[in-house]
Structures are given as C-alpha cells and as structure tokens.
Amino acid sequence: AGFPDDRAQVRYFGDKETARRVLREQKERSAESAFMEWIIFNYKPRRRERTIAEQLLTTGLPPAERMLLEAQISASPSLFKCVEVRAGESVLMEDILEGGTVRVHDIRLSECPVEGTSFPARIYKAGRFHFISLLGPPLPTIAVPEAIEWIESLGLEPTPEGIRRKAHLLGRLWPWLEEWESSFSRQQFVNFDGDPLSFQTASWAVSDEKSVRRMLAEMADIHYDEEDDHFEWLTESTQASMPGGGPVSAGSLTFVGNELVLQVNSEERLERARSMLGNIPGLTYIGSSRLEAKGGRIPSLLPDDATGPENESETEALDPELIATLAGQMREYYMKWLDEPIPTLDGRTPRQACRSKKGRQKVALMIRTCPDPGGIPGVTVPRKEMLRELGLE
C-alpha cells in the first residue's frame, strides 16, 4: 500500500510476497528508500512513458531542485565499496566495476560501521559535494563476486550502462542476500588439511640463529626463499578439492630480531609445527596468539585459505617489526598470485585472463573485492599495486 502499483513491486523484488516481506523486515537497510529511488528514476509503467524524474523536469522546478534532479538522472549507477569512513562527515567510495574513488558527503552513512561494505548505488555531484542514492541492498564485500555472478545469470551486464538498462534486477538482490546470509552463517570453513580456520602466530626464542637456519634448511618439508629471507613449510593436502593437487603452504617461518616467528591457519598445524621444531636445539618456545577474522575480512585469494563468518578479534599487540614482516609477506603472496592458475578463471592466471575484456573485468573485480586480513593493523592486500601491475588501475 502507498506505492504506485503492484507491478512496480513485482518488477523490482520479483513477486508481491517477497516485496512485502523485504519492505517489512529490511527497513534498517533502507529497502524502502532504495525501492523508491528505483521507482522515481528508473520505473516506467509502460515502455514509452517517462519516469517520475523525467516528468518532474517538465514542471517549473526551482533552479536548485532542478540541478539536483538532473545530477541524479545523469549519474552512472555502479557498485561502490566503502574504503574509508570519516565519522560524522563523509565516506570514501571505490567504484568496484570501473575503478576510481570519490568522497561522499553523507553524515548518516559515516556514522555507521560501513567500511568494507559495497552498495549498488548512484553517486552524483551537486556543487562541491557528492551524494549517494541506493539502488539495492548493502552487500558484504565478500559476497559481491557471487552477487554479480547471480545477477549476470538474470541478464544484467555488470557495467554502468548494463545496470542503467536493467536496474530493476538490483532489487532481486534483497531476497538473494537473505539466502546468502542464511547459508553463510551455517558454513564451517577449513583449510586444505580439513582443519577449522584459526589464524595463529607463534614464536620461539633463538639462541643460535646460524645453527637453527642450517637445520631448517636440511628439513625435507621446509623450503628456503632466499630472495625474501624466510622459510616456507610445505605439506601435501588431504583435501580432494585442492586445485591442481598438493603440495600446499602449511605456514611460514621468519627470523625477527632474536625470535623465529611462525604463521599458520589452524590450531592443528600449530601443534604439528611445535612438534616438528621441538627437536631443533637453540629454539625455546615462547607462546602464540590467535588472529581471528573479523567481519569476514580474511585474505580470500590465498591458495591455501578460505573465508568464514564473523568472529570477534582476539589479537594481541604485535611488534612493529613483526607487522612490517607480515606486510611484506602479504605483498609477496598476492603479487605471486597474479601468475598462479586460478580455477575460477578456467585455470588461467590473472595475468593471462587479462588478455580479454571480460577477463580484465573479472580479475579487476576479484582484486577490488579482496578483503584485508582482520585483526592485523597495517597489513593489507596490495590492491593498487596489483591493479597497476596488470594495467587495470
């Protein structure tokens, strides 16, 4: 009740029952305002009729109102990811489909925990300021690749022009998101040993680094990376789903000051590592800390990794030198990923996939929606460098 007609609800949400439920249950996510935005700027009851916004332009609007309306009509719709929040002032948005960033002056949005969230929306300029109008539901960035794949299956091309032509399909993301969240919350995510994911950092005091380095180099499962001066622990995967078969990286070992620091992604691997390293003279176990994912922000491109539901961070304070080491390893891992065969790219590397227009679009989307590791301040995915390396910036 109160909306132009039932056909508008069916076209946007898919059916009347879904429309009523979403409008009733998704008020806090602005379902009604997104629906009304679509009605005003996109909905035509009949093919040759004008939208409400186009009709308003034929009336005697005050200059300021006309300027705002024209700015909204001409703005290109896209998917925008919030990459920075200035509380009580503005948010910085990145265009996931086209690239580039723009600062949006929206006080209400800036007071919400929206960093890392993606929005189907229009961003339009009025004077010196930019404003945002939603066209669909706020999406966890981790869900964006699946969401785009799904609306593509409905016939929406993921480009600004494609969205403009079939903007009503963005409304179908409301029920899709409900199903995605329900499924996501039931999943348990594991590494390629079948262990539940739990990111662990452990350290050992080193009394004779030269001797310890020599013994690590002699171990069959340990590989030394001379260029980056760290040791990689390799193991055979027990999971049949491992792309291309093993071996996989079970963890990394780095000398930091007078300590040897281990990173693994399960408690089981930590115990195996403690047993393995316990026979090396000159090492004294200090302890470990767990780095849980927060808000689904787990490095989802790593070959021996997966993503999972939100958990509370239990991160202990990390030494600045260790953070710098972790940041360097993160950069190395992702830059190597550009030349690794990826199953979702039909076995091609991201660099190879970029030889076609559609491949470039898919790779750019994968990079822009890759979340940073949660709970490790200062350690981020080098998205800009990755895009620049592939000519996608």
pLDDT per residue over 231-265, tens digit each?
A: 988 877 554 433 444 467 788 899 988 999 998 88
Mean pLDDT of the chain: 83
Give the range among 185-189, 203-207, 301-305 with minimum mean pLDDT: 301-305
- 8 Å CB contact between 98 and 130: no
Mean pLDDT score, 66-72? 93
| Cα gap 16→223, rounded to integer Å | 60
82-91 confidence digits (pLDDT tens): 989 999 999 9
Q: Which residue has the tokens 């979403």?
A: 22
pLDDT-based confidence at residue 2 (cuts at 50, 70, 90)? very low
Count of helix runs (H) and strand runs (E) in the chain: 15, 12
State residue 313's pLDDT score: 39
| Cα gap 390→393, rounded to integer Å | 8
328-384 confidence digits (pLDDT tens): 877 888 888 899 888 878 889 999 999 998 899 889 988 888 877 655 667 788 888
| Selected residue with higher pLDDT from 13 and 320 | 13
Mean pLDDT score, 61-76? 92
- 8 Å CB contact between 293 and 310: yes
Q: What are phi and psi of 387, to 5 degrees?
A: -65, -40
Asked if the model's pLDDT at residue 187 lies above 80, the reply is no
Q: What are phi and psi of 222, to 5 degrees?
A: -110, 130
State residue 244's pLDDT score: 40
| Selected residue with higher pLDDT from 29 and 323 | 29
State residue 361's pLDDT score: 86
Percentage of residues in the chain with pLDDT exceeding 70? 84
CA dihedral of 335, 339, 340, 343, whole degrees rounded to 10: 110
| Cα gap 322→281, rounded to integer Å | 23
Strand order in the sheet with 222-225: 222-225, 230-235, 248-256, 259-264, 199-206, 283-291
Q: Which residue has the tokens 């040791």?
A: 231
Q: pTM, whole model, 2 decimals?
A: 0.65
Beta bridge partners of 381: none
pLDDT-based confidence at residue 71 (cuts at 50, 70, 90)? very high
Asked if the model's pLDDT at residue 39 lies above 70, the reply is yes
State residue 303's pLDDT score: 33
95-153 confidence digits (pLDDT tens): 998 888 999 999 988 998 888 899 999 999 988 899 999 999 999 878 888 999 899 99
Helix axes 16-25, 173-186, angle to 10 degrees: 70
State residue 139's pLDDT score: 93
Give Rg (Cα) of the chain. 25
| Cα gap 217→219, rounded to integer Å | 6
| Cα gap 305→296, rounded to integer Å | 13
Cβ neighbours around 225 below 10 Å, total: 13
State residue 305's pLDDT score: 36
Cβ neighbours around 305 below 10 Å, total: 19
Q: What are phi and psi of 257, to 5 degrees?
A: 65, -125
> 279 vs 88, 209, 219, CA distance in Å?
55, 15, 11
| Cα gap 25→7, rounded to integer Å | 20
| Cα gap 40→44, rounded to integer Å | 9
Asked if the model's pLDDT at residue 315 lies above 60, the reply is no
Q: Measuring CA to CA, which residue among 21, 29, 28 is closest to residue 135?
A: 29
pLDDT-based confidence at residue 304 (cuts at 50, 70, 90)? very low
Mean pLDDT score, 312-339? 71
pLDDT-based confidence at residue 185 (cuts at 50, 70, 90)? low
| Cα gap 200→207, rounded to integer Å | 23
